[in-house]
């Protein structure tokens, strides 16, 4: 049985369901629905051949070529689908819900699968993704200068049952010139957006969602503008942490990284750091004076943070002094602080707040 289904309904199916993306490996690598499996009807080159035939000769000739190219592959497609969906229930999509997904759905239905054919295909999914960013969310932002432990507190809040969106994890980057940690590989912009939308769809819009303060760009990726604007307008709780404590934390996190990587990352910010500071920072790296290196680059990052903070609305900006060495204590302190300062405005939407 083949059932046409909107992407929003498919994503809402309880217990999930295997999803086969029959686009080419190149299309899949550019961006795909999180959790989908690639079951390509054509190779990258074969898709070009079929597309060229369609444009230069016509639709019928392109269909015949498609069957010529896939004629010996159908039993393999079915066997792969059985591995993906042993219960023989599967979703299928291509780019626009056209011939590729229709052909795969037909073959799987013939074999006895229950097939959910995604209406509008991946193109419609991308429209759904953009819609997720436009929806209102009750965001609270965790701010603080570099080394304040924002990410660790964010993770601790999640452990304690709070709702969290970890943008740096989704972007596979820690947000500075050193943010790849010499090992992280960022997804494409398209996949980053897909992953973010997937994370948002699982959250309760009536409960607080914690997000770490970020610049618009995280490495080579950009936070989608509608979501970024909500972050800029949201309440921000700044973590106030002693400079010495921040340096210690950063030395622990970055001090053991490859020196060539640290030097190259420092050189990328030389215009903003200044020639003298850059020279001194690189010398400190080479001489293994990691505390000196961190202290020097923090001059730039602290200045940048203060500038960004000054652009926020003051009545939505608060601070908490962090002194305990325990991350769990920090998280509890943050929750206690916010609970005593904010309460929902009666009759308002979930992301409108007033002070006590």
Q: Which of the residues are catalytic?
A: 94
**DSSP annotation of 122:** H
**Residues 153, 335: Cα–Cα separation, whole Å:** 11
Element (H, E) at 321: strand 317-322
Q: Which one, of 90, 111, 93, lies nearest residue 101 by Cα?
A: 93
Instruction: Spell out the alpha helix ranges (H) of the chain.
Output: 7-11, 25-30, 44-56, 59-70, 74-84, 99-111, 121-134, 150-159, 167-171, 189-201, 225-233, 243-254, 259-268, 270-273, 275-286, 290-310, 327-341
**DSSP annotation of 353:** E
Bridge partners of 118, per DSSP, are 5
**DSSP annotation of 180:** T
Element (H, E) at 241: strand 235-241
Give the chain's largest Cα–Cα span.
72
Tell the residue number behind the tokens 């199916």, with chain if given. 13
β-pair type (37-38, 18-21)? parallel
Task: Name residues whose C-beta falls within 8 Å of residue 216's C-beta, 6 or more positions apart in sequence.
Answer: 222, 223, 228
For residue 97, CA distances in Å to 42, 94, 180, 184 come to 15, 5, 37, 34
HSE on the CB side for 138, CA within 13 Å?
19
**Residues 161, 164: Cα–Cα separation, whole Å:** 9
**Residues 39, 150: Cα–Cα separation, whole Å:** 40
């Amino acid at each position: 049985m083949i059932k046409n289904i909107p992407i929003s309904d498919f994503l809402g199916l309880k217990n999930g369901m295997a999803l086969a993306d029959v686009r080419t490996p190149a299309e899949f690598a550019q961006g795909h629905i999180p959790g989908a499996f690639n079951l390509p009807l054509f190779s990258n080159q074969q898709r070009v051949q079929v597309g060229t035939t369609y444009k230069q000769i016509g639709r019928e000739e392109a269909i015949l070529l498609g069957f010529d190219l896939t004629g010996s592959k159908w039993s393999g497609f079915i066997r792969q689908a059985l591995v993906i969906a042993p219960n023989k229930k599967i979703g299928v999509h291509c780019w626009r819900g056209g011939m590729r997904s229709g052909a795969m759905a037909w073959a799987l239905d013939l074999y006895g699968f229950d097939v959910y054919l995604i209406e509008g295909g991946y193109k419609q999914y991308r429209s759904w993704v953009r819609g997720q960013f436009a929806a209102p969310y009750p965001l609270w932002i965790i701010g603080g200068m570099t080394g304040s432990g924002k990410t660790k507190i964010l993770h601790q809040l999640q452990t304690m049952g709070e709702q969290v969106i970890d943008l740096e994890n989704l972007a596979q980057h820690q947000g500075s010139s050193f943010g790849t940690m010499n090992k992280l590989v960022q997804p494409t912009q398209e996949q980053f957006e897909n992953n973010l939308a997937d994370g948002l769809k699982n959250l309760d819009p009536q409960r607080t969602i914690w997000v770490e303060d970020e610049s618009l760009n995280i490495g080579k990726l950009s936070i989608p503008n509608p979501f970024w604007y909500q972050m800029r307008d949201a309440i921000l709780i700044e973590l106030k942490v002693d400079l010495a404590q921040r340096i210690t934390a950063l030395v622990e996190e970055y001090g053991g990284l490859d020196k060539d990587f640290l030097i190259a990352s420092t050189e990328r910010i030389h215009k903003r750091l200044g020639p003298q500071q850059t020279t001194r920072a690189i010398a400190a790296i080479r001489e293994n004076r990691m505390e000196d290196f961190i202290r020097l680059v923090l001059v730039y990052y602290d200045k940048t943070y203060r500038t960004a903070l000054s652009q926020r609305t003051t009545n939505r900006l608060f601070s908490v002094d962090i002194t305990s060495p325990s991350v769990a204590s920090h998280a509890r302190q943050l929750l206690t602080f916010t609970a005593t300062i904010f309460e929902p405005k009666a009759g308002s939407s979930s992301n409108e707040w007033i002070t006590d």
